Amino acid sequence: MTKIRATITGVHGYVPADILSNADLEKMVDTNDEWIRSRTGIQERHILKGQGLASSDMGVEAARGLLEKTGTSPDEIEVVICATVTPDMLFPDTANLIAYKLGIKNAFTFDISAACSGFLFSLNTAVRYIESGAYKKVLLVGVDKMSSIVDYTDRSTCILFGDAAGAVLLEPSQDDETGVMDAILHSDGIGAEHLYQAAGGSLRPATHETVDAKQHYIYQNGRPVYKAAVMYMTGVVQEIMKKNNLHPDDVAWVVPHQANLRIIETMARMLDFPMERIMVNIQKYGNTTAATIPLCLWEWENQLKKGDKLILTAFGGGYTWGAILVKWAY
- For the CB of residue 17, give the shortest distance to ligand UT7 in the complex, in Å: 24
- For the CB of residue 190, give the shortest distance to ligand UT7 in the complex, in Å: 14
**Which has the closest alpha carbon to 123: 181, 61, 197?**
181
- For the CB of residue 50, give the shortest distance to ligand UT7 in the complex, in Å: 25
Point out the residue whose Cβ comes nearest to ligand UT7. 222
Q: Measure the CA–CA gap between 75 and 103, rounded to whole angstroms.
A: 8
Active site (annotated) includes residue 116: yes
* Closer of 80 and 271 to ligand UT7 (Cβ): 271
Q: What is the phi/psi pair of residue 54, to 5°?
A: -140, -175
Of 124, 158, 257, 296, catalytic: 257
Count, residues in the chain:
330
In degrees, rounded to 5, the angle at the alpha carbon of residue 193 between the alpha carbons of residues 189 and 196 is: 95
**Which has the closest alpha carbon to 121: 89, 83, 153?**
83
* Closer of 128 and 155 to ligand UT7 (Cβ): 155
* Closer of 121 and 135 to ligand UT7 (Cβ): 121
Of 22, 124, 260, 287, catalytic: 287
- For the CB of residue 180, give the shortest distance to ligand UT7 in the complex, in Å: 23
Q: Give 328's contacts (C-beta < 8 A, 6+ positions apart).
A: 8, 178, 252, 304, 305, 306, 307, 308, 309, 310
Active site (annotated) includes residue 287: yes
* Closer of 63 and 165 to ligand UT7 (Cβ): 165
Q: Measure the CA–CA gap between 197 and 215, rounded to whole angstroms.
A: 7
**Which has the closest alpha carbon to 282: 37, 59, 16?**
37
Of 82, 116, 158, 296, catalytic: 116
Which residue stretches of the chain are H helix? 22-26, 33-40, 55-70, 94-102, 118-131, 155-158, 208-212, 222-243, 261-271, 282-285, 292-300
* Closer of 89 and 190 to ligand UT7 (Cβ): 190
Q: Measure the CA–CA gap between 54 and 97, rounded to whole angstroms.
A: 10
**Which has the closest alpha carbon to 187: 281, 124, 263?**
124
- For the CB of residue 221, give the shortest distance to ligand UT7 in the complex, in Å: 8
Residue 278 DSSP label: B
* Closer of 72 and 147 to ligand UT7 (Cβ): 147
Residue pair 13/294 in contact by the 8 Å Cβ criterion: yes
Binding site for ligand UT7 (CB under 6 A): 31, 35-36, 39-40, 116, 155-156, 159, 222-223, 225-226, 229, 259-260, 263, 287, 315-316
- For the CB of residue 216, give the shortest distance to ligand UT7 in the complex, in Å: 18
Q: Measure the CA–CA gap between 41 and 54, rounded to whole angstroms.
A: 27
Q: Measure the CA–CA gap between 188 and 114, rounded to whole angstroms.
A: 11
Strand 253-256 to 309-316 pairing: parallel
* Closer of 259 and 293 to ligand UT7 (Cβ): 259
- For the CB of residue 283, give the shortest distance to ligand UT7 in the complex, in Å: 14
Active site (annotated) includes residue 257: yes
Catalytic annotation, residues: 116, 257, 287
